[in-house]
Chain A
Amino acid sequence: MESLLEVRGVERRFDKTLALQATDLDVAENDFITILGPSGCGKSTLLRIVAGLDRQTAGEVLLDGQRIDGPGADRGMVFQSYTLFPWLTVRENVCFGLVERGVPRTQQLEIADAFLAKVGLKGFENHYPKQLSGGMQQRTAIARALANGPRMLLMDEPFGALDHQTRELMQELLLGIWEQERKTVLFVTHDIDEAVFMGSRVVVMSARPGRIKLDRRVELPHPRHYSVKTSPAFAALKAELTEQVRVEVRAAAMAA
């Protein structure tokens, strides 16, 4: 099958430190790939290179066969920090990219309201970000990224700053949206449960210098209900990944 995204020998050096070793990764259309790894393993760096926000020191990234050399609306991103524009209402935040593309106003509002409904924020269209909880802000950020109709969605620990309960709800919400929309997603996390629950493929990265050491398909059927987290298949995969990540976390701790 033709890959939507191809990462070819991508490497990132910061001065003398090698943060990311020559990395290859193929992402097929409609894949939900979760990238797991210890802190500082370069998983966010890899995501940022795909986003075009960081530049590799070697190798290349191709989207639809086109070389990426900068950020663009074809790769929507959701950050860990709350990046809604505080001076815009929820609705205007979601319209932000549509305005850039010159979508007619009536259509903008239609799209924005549809995606806000999808993330359960009907009734909050005219609120300012500061009036929302962290979870609601991230839901708006997801709606904002999706409204732009990107080829793929890049998510950098989007639920990392949320409390545990909210995070689980957000996982279900995002997974539900993915099951409907089948967007291609690249999702960075250090939460193993999250990686297994959300991913159709889990990629584990090694401690610095980061490289991909494991690439597993997650054979849990869709639609996934949160109860899948207590199934034996889930537990088995989680145990394996826990072991793999643990080795790397220890290695990172030793190196530090």
Chain B
Amino acid sequence: MQRPWGGLAGAGVKPLTAVAPGIRVALGVAFFVLFIAVWAAVTLGGLVPKTFLASPLQMLASGWDLIVNQGFVKDIGMTVWRVVGGFLIAAAIALPLGVLMGAYKPIEAFFEPFVSFARYLPASAFIPLLILWAGIGEAQKLSVIFIGSFFQLVLMIAVTVGNTRRDLVEAAYTLGSSDTSLIRRVLIPGAAPEIAETLRMVLGWAWTYVIVAELIGASSGIGHMITDSQALLATDQIIFGIIVIGVIGLVSDLLFKALNRKLFPWKAF
């Protein structure tokens, strides 16, 4: 009888067993190669019309054109600025509020139901309202990012802080900690790595909101370029824009991870 996953077992692969780092990287790269190869095959092989999906080569060529001739770097800069700006504003308010909610149950009881409700409000659906309130300038873009990330951040930070190990809290009290020093010296440092992880994750989501914000009522940014390209059926440019977002997202993610490892060495052991 053929066992399920017989092929993997035959190759010596057991469930939940780690893979060597070299092989791991090779496998990860292999899928990218495979993906691009299939893409190249269907487009260059003429299986899909050009207006429908541009080939990788054409995508690169128009990407080069965008950067060199059409000032796309400025668009990228604008988009990055919006994401980072909106996200930093959200984080700056969400951090203290989340910590207070996690530490003090009455504060949590006051805000938590509303925040739980608000985080299901789709940030992109606010765009028409935000245009009405804030115009089509930068304030509107930042507001979309803010709405999209703030409520998520508050809630997750509050939960993280609230989950602080009670025995550590008790240990601190028996060592003479006051309530404020408990928050400063136990709750915050204990929750910090997970909060950093939350920031990393929500920053990823902020990227999806910024593009939506730029699709409507923007005169610059990656999303704006994509809308422009849509009118011209320039799938090569659209795909290039999407890939740029993906690459920036990946890079910021890796930077965040590296930073977290550096900031919290005690997590590593």
A-B contact pairs, 12 of them (CB 8 A): A71-B174, A73-B175, A77-B170, A79-B167, A85-B172, A85-B186, A97-B175, A100-B178, A100-B181, A128-B265, A130-B269, A148-B176
B63 to chain A, nearest CB (A): 44
Query: Are B269 and A77 in contact, with the CB atoms below 8 A?
Result: no
A130 to B266, CA, bound (A): 8
A28 to B165, CA, bound (A): 34
Is B173 interfacial (CB-CB < 8 Å)? yes
Query: Are A77 and B190 in contact, with the CB atoms below 8 A?
Result: no
Q: Contact flags (1/0) for A100-129 with B, using CB distance below 8 Å?
A: 110000000000000000000000000011
Q: Is the interface of B mostly helix, strand, loop or mixed?
A: helix
Query: Are B174 and A73 in contact, with the CB atoms below 8 A?
Result: yes
Query: Are A53 and B269 in contact, with the CB atoms below 8 A?
Result: no
The interface of chain A, by Cβ under 8 A from chain B, is 51-53, 70-73, 75-77, 79, 81, 83, 85-88, 96-97, 99-101, 128-131, 141, 144-145, 148, 154
Query: Are A73 and B176 in contact, with the CB atoms below 8 A?
Result: yes
Query: Are A128 and B269 in contact, with the CB atoms below 8 A?
Result: yes
CB neighbours of B174 from chain A (8 A) = 51-53, 71-73, 75-77, 145, 154
> Which residue of chain B lies nearest to A129 when distances are taken between CB atoms in the complex?
B266
Q: Within residues 53 to 76 of chain B, which ones have a CB less than 8 A from any CB in chain A?
A: none
Contact of B176 among A53, A81, A101, A154 (CB under 8 A): A101
Query: Are B170 and A87 in contact, with the CB atoms below 8 A?
Result: no
A101 to B177, CA, bound (A): 9
Given contacts A73-B176, A75-B174, A128-B269, contact A87 B168 (CB under 8 A): no
Instruction: Give chain B's interface residue range (CB within 8 Å of chain A).
Output: 20 to 34
A101 to B190, CA, bound (A): 21
A71 to B265, CA, bound (A): 31
A203 to B208, CA, bound (A): 65
Q: Contact flags (1/0) for B150-194 with A, using CB distance below 8 Å?
A: 000000000000000101101111111110010001100110100
A49 to chain B, nearest CB (A): 13
Contact of B173 among A71, A85, A99 (CB under 8 A): A71
Number of A-B contacts (CB under 8 A): 72
The winner among B168, B174, B177, B269 for most chain A CB atoms within 10 A is: B174
CB neighbours of B177 from chain A (8 A) = 100
Is B111 interfacial (CB-CB < 8 Å)? no
Q: Contact flags (1/0) for B249-269 with A, using CB distance below 8 Å?
A: 000000000000000111001
The interface of chain B, by Cβ under 8 A from chain A, is 165, 167-168, 170-178, 181, 185-186, 189-190, 192, 264-266, 269
A70 to B182, CA, bound (A): 15
Query: Are A97 and B192 in contact, with the CB atoms below 8 A?
Result: no
CB neighbours of B170 from chain A (8 A) = 51, 53, 71, 77, 79, 83
The winner among A75, A86, A97, A129 for most chain B CB atoms within 10 A is: A86
A148 to B174, CA, bound (A): 10
Query: Are A72 and B266 in contact, with the CB atoms below 8 A?
Result: no
A131 to B177, CA, bound (A): 25
CB neighbours of B175 from chain A (8 A) = 73, 76, 96-97, 100, 144-145, 148
The winner among B170, B178, B189 for most chain A CB atoms within 10 A is: B170
CB neighbours of B172 from chain A (8 A) = 85, 96
Query: Are B176 and A77 in contact, with the CB atoms below 8 A?
Result: no
> Which residue of chain A lies nearest to B168 when distances are taken between CB atoms in the complex?
A83
17 additional A-B pairs beyond A77-B170, A85-B189, beta carbons within 8 Å, are A51-B170, A53-B174, A70-B173, A73-B175, A73-B176, A75-B174, A79-B170, A79-B171, A81-B167, A83-B167, A83-B168, A86-B266, A97-B176, A100-B177, A100-B181, A130-B266, A148-B176
